Amino acid sequence: MEIVFLDTNLFYATILKNDAHHELATKTIETLTRKGTPIIIPEAVSRELRQSFYRKYLNAQSRIIHHYRKAIRHGL
C-alpha cells in the first residue's frame, strides 16, 4: 500500500480557491481518495486546517492516517 505525504503547497492550493493550481490540486486529492490512498498532511499545517481537510476528503481514512503518522513518529 502506498502512502502519500501531501506537499504543503498542494495542500494550500486545495484550500485556497483563488490559487492558480486549485483545480489540479483538487483533482489530485480526489483521485488519491478514490483509490483509497492514505494521505498524510505535514505537521507545519495548522491543526484546524488538517482536521477540516480530513473531514472534507478523508472521513473514514483519518483514523488510518493517524496510526501511520504515529508509527512514523516512533521510528517505524
C-alpha cell read off for 1? 500500500
Residue 5 three-state SS: strand
Residues 10-15: what's their mean pLDDT? 78
**pTM value surpassing 0.95:** no
CB 11 within 8 A of CB 45: yes
Q: What pLDDT, in 10s, does the model give residues 24-69?
A: 888 888 888 788 777 777 777 788 887 777 777 766 555 566 667 7
C-alpha cell read off for 66? 493517524
E-assigned strand segments in 7-56:
39-40
Handedness of CA 50, 8, 23, 17 (dihedral sign): positive
Place of cell 478523508: 58
Amino acid at 5: F
